[in-house]
Structure 1
């Protein structure tokens, strides 16, 4: 009898996390659906010792859903992502299991570069630091977000200092010093993207970081050539082809997102793709 009750409770909990509400889903117009996940606090009340399993099921569901939104080459399919539901599901998962690294990693990957939800992501990372007290990755992520996206170098240096103390990694020590000012934003971004790419376990997430890194590397190559031209000629070139024609650039790098790099009206290197996957 007791075993039957436990089994029934587990099936009910699984349904709450994995199976979306039928009425809610019928109202959704998109073909690929993630759906709604109950709040983590509510699930934790009934999950008991199974909360870690339920947390991982919720995370895996989001990873599967997110992977279905991208082609093999890292470009987005036409289905609008359910970003709100993805974030809410990760929040619920972390209420069940605040030690689940997959949830923190995915949140960093999915909600910073395109959505720029830096405050929300760093709040989640701060939450994780209270539990994963040994982990240098969480302050590393938060420090990068503060520096690269928010330009809050003081906060970034504090996060990086914490990452350095936890890991002893000289990279974090460098970033905790004046790296942000001396190396520039592009170098910081490339360093971070390479680290994320190398640590990614999911092939599609790894590809997304790889494409972003290559795009940023292309911008950096052009920007360096642009600076050399400006120092030599004391003016901006009319277009990027001038940099190639006059020997400052061997060739214009390809935008891995499928667009074309060009100079905007302010002389900044941008791309027609806006460095986002094809919608």
Structure 2
């Protein structure tokens, strides 16, 4: 009787099983990629809805309800160099993160201008606007910058005066849970609401302080408590907010919008 337990047959079975498993895994990855991309978009929409104040708890909504609520928000493109709306690109297909890595759609930032440590700045940004009866209620600005371990991606929402914070939060980061990861803490995010980002002369005056803000201080409306035990993450948040509100970020756009020249 022939011996079937040969090295050749063992290798053949092993290779065949490996190929079958590889095909199954690859097929599953391809099949799930579309749903994964949809879930990423849905997560960003949930964060925008929460930050805009339109929905108290977007996570409690169904996929369809999220999309219905998000339809009340208008995405627009902004040319960061001119500070004016850009209608040359397709707002529905524009990917800001991809643009930031494309040399044709972004510029390298000199070290002395790169307060947020993002290395490259896209020429165009995708913002979101909430209007009621044709009047601006909220403008939601994408922001990002380096913390301690990662680049934090989020949104800063301003009220119609383009000065008062309506909401703030991050949808992507890899900061330390319990420390820098407290940027996700609803209590801390709530501290930003009502704060003013500019002083009376239009200078950026919002600051994340070390420790707690003295509520009786004359400048308390421009200060936010730092994250306990997360000095570098707090500093990173402070830097990224200042960068995106400044001349290389949305500063020119906000000035134009105030003057009705966007």
**Which structure: greater helix fraction?**
1
TM-score strictly above 0.5: no
**Which structure: greater strand fraction?**
2
